[in-house]
Amino acid sequence: MDKLIEREIATRTPLVAAPALAVQFFLIPLAVHQGPTAFFFSLITFLEVVLLFNILIIVHELGHFLAAKWCGLKIDKFAIWFGKPLWSKKIDGVDYILGSIPAGGYVALPQMAGNLSATTDEIGWVATGYILSNVVVLPMTAFLTQMFGRRNYLTASIDRLRSPRS
């Protein structure tokens, strides 16, 4: 069973493809229709967004790291980015890691793994799945709210929760 889980985790690479798809389906057609100047500025804007997103990730994960330290929790890993490590160093029992997929990070706490009966990698993939599901659900919620109105959407959601499932 563990081999099956490891193989499943190793084959998932949706985060690697996202930036490539953005360039292929948005920036290149823009260059064809608007010219190389528009392409250049769009590419710079795209890279700025990725850079700012990663700065936010670093600050966010650093907050988790400092809070865990302050609470006296044992920290196994502090990782920025996912995937195979490009760089890693062990200092005072903590593995500091820079991954190869620039989309996220994590602080591995063995207390979490014990409570969830999961490995650190499994917890990382659960968190990644949660983040990706929010990327889909939140815009969809905004669209439905805009389409039906806030009150109607909320009422329909509550009615759906109250009705017996058949």
C-alpha to C-alpha distances, 63 to 29, 37, 98, 159, nearest whole angstrom: 39, 39, 17, 39
Count how many domains the chain has. 1
The residue to which tokens 């805009």 are assigned: 146
pLDDT value of residue 23: 62
Q: What DSSP character marks residue 164? A: P
Sequence-distant (≥ 6) Cβ neighbours of residue 79 within 8 angstroms: 61, 85, 95, 96, 97, 98, 99, 105, 106, 107, 108
> What's the pLDDT at 20?
60
pTM: 0.54
pLDDT at 160: 67
pLDDT of residue 24: 62
Q: Domain of 59?
A: 2-162
What pLDDT, on a 0 to 100 scale, did the predictor assign at position 90? 95
Residue 87's pLDDT is 93
The pLDDT score that the predictor gives to residue 79 is 92
What residues are paired with 87 via a beta bridge?
A: 98
pLDDT averages per 10-residue partition of the chain, 166 residues: 48 50 64 74 83 90 92 90 89 92 83 65 70 78 82 75 62
